[in-house]
Amino acid sequence: MTARLTVVHTVGERVAVHADGTEILSYVHRPDPEPYESRKPYAHPVRTLAGNLVTGYRPNDHRWHKGIQMTASHLSEQNFWGGNSYLTGKGYQRVPERVGRMRHDGFTRIDATDDRVDLAEDLTWISHGEEEWAREERTLAVHSVRPADGAWALDWTIRLTNIRAEPLHFGSPTTAGREMAGYTGLHWRGPRDFTDGQILTPAGPATDRDTMGTPAADVPWIAFTTEHDDIDAHSTLVFAHAPENSGPAAVHPSHWFVRSASTPTVAFSWAFFEEFELAPRASFFYRYRVVVADGAWDAARVGQYLDGLGW
Largest interatomic CA distance in the chain: 56
Give the C-alpha separation, 230 to 146, whole Å.
Answer: 25
pLDDT of residue 251: 83
Note whether 273 and 175 are within 8 A (CB): yes
Whether this prediction's pTM lies above 0.85 is answered by yes
Note whether 121 and 144 are within 8 A (CB): no
DSSP string for 127-194? -TTS-EEEEEEEEEEEEEEETTTTEEEEEEEEEEEE-SSS-EEEE-TTTTT-TT----SEEEE--GGG
pLDDT of residue 235: 98
Note whether 276 and 176 are within 8 A (CB): no
Note whether 253 and 218 are within 8 A (CB): no
Give the C-alpha separation, 193 to 155, whole Å.
Answer: 24
Angle (CA) 279 134 93, round 5°: 95
Give the C-alpha separation, 261 to 172, whole Å.
Answer: 21
* Sign, Cα dihedral of 130, 62, 294, 303: positive
pLDDT of residue 206: 98
Note whether 104 and 192 are within 8 A (CB): no
Give the C-alpha separation, 83 to 38, whole Å.
Answer: 7
- Series of mean pLDDT values for 10-residue runs along the chain (311 residues): 94 98 98 96 98 98 97 98 97 98 98 97 98 98 97 98 98 97 98 97 97 97 97 98 84 94 95 97 97 98 97 91
pLDDT of residue 262: 87
pLDDT of residue 171: 98
